[in-house]
Structure 1
Amino acid sequence: MLNSIQLFGMVLLGGLAAGELARRVAALPRTTGYVLFGLLTGQSGLGWIDPLHIESAQLFIDLALGLILFELGYLVPRTPLQVGLKRLATGTLVALSTGLGVLLLLLYWGFTAGDALFAAALLLATSPAITIATCSDVGARGEKSGLLYTLVAINGCIAFAAIALMTPFLDQTIQASPLLRLAEALGSIAGSLGIGVGGAALVLLGARRLEKQPEHQHLLILGGIVFGVGTAIYLDTSVFLPMLIFGFLVRALDREQKVVAIRIASDARVFLVITFVLAGAALDIAYLRDYWLEALGIALCRFLAQWLPCSAAARQIGLTQREALFMGIGLQPMSSVALVLLANTQMLYAGLDPQLTGILLAAILLMQLFGPLTTQTAIKGFGEASRLMPPPTATAPQGGTPS
């Protein structure tokens, strides 16, 4: 039986090896290898990582997801106001279309309106971790990759805000009027905004004092994230929304580019490996065996609901129809944050339909496995996967052979 420190080392070393095998042997994203290693060592495989290990690592998981969401917000590129508004409108349309499509599908399957509404909010977010890690691995560079980050960030904001609004209404153990529940939900969102603004102010002021010293600035940012996550937990509010706001505001307000931000895919890869391996370990492949058809139905519904708005708004956001198709493909990865939110909601709301829980877990597992591949496909389709492009061939000298 491994102790906690040995287990931590096993997760890092095994995840590293599995990621490299996935990349070098099967030409798959490293993140797919991380998830497969988690499945192998978790409850679906050898059972070395059990639910108690995952529960004991919850604080680390919260910090890792906080760092990932900070970076997602930071990766949203600055654009002129008119361009930014068009992207915001498109991202909002994509999120609402996805939520509505999944809601109608679940209602058609016979689930209650409350359960279906919660599940729809859970499933509209695109995975920031898969997007960041896969884009880093393939060397994504370009305007379309920046647009993908923007749409993923908008999806996340809307999903987290919707879940924050619904959470107080799910708790049936507390007797409170709808007005009080709504006030609690709005207070949670306001608290998230306050934490995000406060963290951004701290980092921007600190960066001015520290100048461009990466090691000190990284410590400043990591400290801000840790304090922000701790404050969110203390206030019993969302950990995820404030970190996304935090990262976005740091990038948007850093006009003089004084901040040297952490790059989780390079500076803190350990957080990505741990997140994906533990996500894989927490999922039971039996759910995919039992609900594979429903999971495929949700995946198809999400794809259509995300691709069609991108296609309709292609000209406004600077895409061709081919690029809009790849943008829809790139938005497919389902957020591992959904797994954390689902676990928290199950504890809060024991009345969630067990069949719906199984379908959600099957869909999450499906997109944990295939989501990295869809992101890689999208970046290659944009022509922005710099690390997957063949090296330039040497050109023959012109003018014939010298005598």
Structure 2
Amino acid sequence: MPDLLAILGSLSWPVAITLAWLAGEFGQRWTGLPRISFYGLVGFLLAAPQLGVLPSPEPGTALLLADVAFGLILFELGYRINLRWLRTNPWIGVSGLAEALLTFVTVYYIARAFGVAVINAQMLASLSMATSPATVVRVINEQKSSGQVTERALHLCALNCVLAVFAFNVSVGLWIFRTSEDLGDALWNSLVVLAVSAFSGVVFGLVVPAVLRVLGKPAQDATVAFALAVILLVSVTYTLGLSPVVATLAFGLMARHRRIAFSQAQRNFGALGELLTVVLFVFAASTLDWQKILAGGAMAVALVLARLLTKLLGVMAFAHLAGISWRKGALTGVALAPLSVFVILLLEHARHAGVQVVDELRAIAAVTMLLELFGPIILQRALVWAREAPEPRHAA
């Protein structure tokens, strides 16, 4: 019997990933909804606190694979960011700063109103600034979306990620300083980590294109080379305790501006990217506990609604100055709703780094679950309403 249990336990992840993929394919065919919503639902149902098929998340292969999957998506996001456009139209960046700051302040005061401690409220507000690039990039690619709302959502998503990681690391640094009074450790876990992570990504963004040019035919060989480089970069950041989010985003941004072609056919990194995306969303949802979701339900609804409103208002307020209509500004704000995967991976890394207050932040589980399921759907509808993606078709 123990041998049988061990065999079944070793099969849990392959079985879960296969079931999630099947659910995504059939779910998308029957409903027209994004596949990743179904990946998340399967991961949640099979998690240890629910049906108990998957083991409790621990640092190891599953987290590393999730980081690699997230790294590939962040690289692609960084690769699609056009800094010249932001310099030409600085109001896009201003709108991003405005909606992120408005979200931080609003979420902080809502959390405090629900009795959340100051440092926890700061971390929660920092996380709420973010938009999940995993969801945004995946849904945009799946819908083959293009247009003003699509491009602004991608650029603001990248800005939100950087701001959220910065604010979250500063909050973590403050927590470390308050608990240990070690200023050096606090600085290392906040600003220094971000600087070293960004520098690592920039170095990869310089070296990999140079190697491809030496090899010749960089456009044909770029996909495999970039995928291997992302895997190596994520592994380095994972080992050294750096931020894979900042590193891979900086890598993609630098690689784009080194003018290495990354063709449309290579989006999502092909079959490797498809597989790792399933792993990422199943892993993220498997960290959630239904009891904590119920416990945080009231605050979750308030935070989700507040966050949606602040992002909508923040972008819409500068819409005309940024060169689009208020309607498209509002739809861009709505498109920034997804959050879940980004938050889960940041929390997992902080917990494994010894930040114990993260356990108290599990009240965000309800927010995460709501946006794990509905964030992709909200984004899909925003793109359809902006007429930048076709109305999804599904089987009768």
- 2:113 alignment counterpart: 108
Secondary structure in 1 matching 2:296: helix
C-alpha distance in structure 2 between counterparts of 1:213 and 1:253, whole Å: 11
- 1:393 alignment counterpart: none
Amino acid at match of 1:360: I
**Cα distance 1:33–1:258, how it changes in 2: closer, same or farther (>3 A)?**
closer
TM-superposition CA deviations, 1:369-403 (whole Å, max 9, x none): 1001011011101111147489xxxxxxxxxxxxx
- 1:323 alignment counterpart: 328
Q: What percentage of residue pairs aligned between the two structures are identical? A: 25
2:66 to 37, 61, 68: 61
Query: Where does structure 2 lack aligned partners over 5 or more consecutive residues?
Result: none
1:207-356 equivalences under 5 Å are 207-212=212-217, 216-254=221-259, 257-259=260-262, 262-264=266-268, 266-267=270-271, 268-347=273-352, 348-351=354-357, 354=360
- 2:138 alignment counterpart: 133
C-alpha distance in structure 2 between counterparts of 1:65 and 1:188, whole Å: 18
- 1:152 alignment counterpart: 157
CA contact (8 A) 1:103 1:116 kept: yes
Find the structure with the greater CA-based Rg. Answer: 1
Deviation at 1:191, TM superposition (A): 0.2
1:372 paired to 2:376: yes
Structure number having the greater helix percentage: 2
2:44 to 29, 32, 39: 39
C-alpha distance in structure 2 between counterparts of 1:370 and 1:258, whole Å: 34
1:382 to 365, 379, 386: 386
**Cα distance 1:100–1:148, how it changes in 2: closer, same or farther (>3 A)?**
same
CA contact (8 A) 2:64 2:235 kept: no
- 1:169 alignment counterpart: 174
Query: Where does structure 1 lack aligned partners over 5 or more consecutive residues?
Result: 391-403
C-alpha distance in structure 2 between counterparts of 1:171 and 1:109, whole Å: 24
| More moved, 336-345 vs 89-98 | 336-345
C-alpha distance in structure 2 between counterparts of 1:168 and 1:72, whole Å: 27
Secondary structure in 2 matching 1:226: helix
**Cα distance 1:375–1:136, how it changes in 2: closer, same or farther (>3 A)?**
same
Amino acid at match of 1:154: L
With normalisation by structure 1, the TM-score equals 0.87
1:205 paired to 2:216: no
C-alpha distance in structure 2 between counterparts of 1:239 and 1:229, whole Å: 6
TM-superposition CA deviations, 1:211-258 (whole Å, max 9, x none): 44666322221222122222223332212111111112212332xx44
- 1:398 alignment counterpart: none
1:50 to 55, 61, 64: 55
CA contact (8 A) 2:89 2:322 kept: no
Deviation at 1:80, TM superposition (A): 3.6
| More moved, 244-253 vs 174-183 | 174-183
Deviation at 1:299, TM superposition (A): 0.4
- 1:401 alignment counterpart: none
C-alpha distance in structure 2 between counterparts of 1:187 and 1:285, whole Å: 36
CA contact (8 A) 2:32 2:393 kept: no
C-alpha distance in structure 2 between counterparts of 1:295 and 1:319, whole Å: 32
**Cα distance 1:335–1:153, how it changes in 2: closer, same or farther (>3 A)?**
farther
**Cα distance 1:325–1:80, how it changes in 2: closer, same or farther (>3 A)?**
closer
**Cα distance 1:4–1:134, how it changes in 2: closer, same or farther (>3 A)?**
farther
Amino acid at match of 2:54: I
Secondary structure in 2 matching 1:263: helix
TM-superposition CA deviations, 1:181-234 (whole Å, max 9, x none): 336532212201211111100222123234446663222212221222222233
Amino acid at match of 2:75: F
CA contact (8 A) 1:145 1:384 kept: yes
CA contact (8 A) 2:197 2:237 kept: yes
C-alpha distance in structure 2 between counterparts of 1:56 and 1:180, whole Å: 27
Amino acid at match of 1:88: G
Deviation at 1:180, TM superposition (A): 6.3
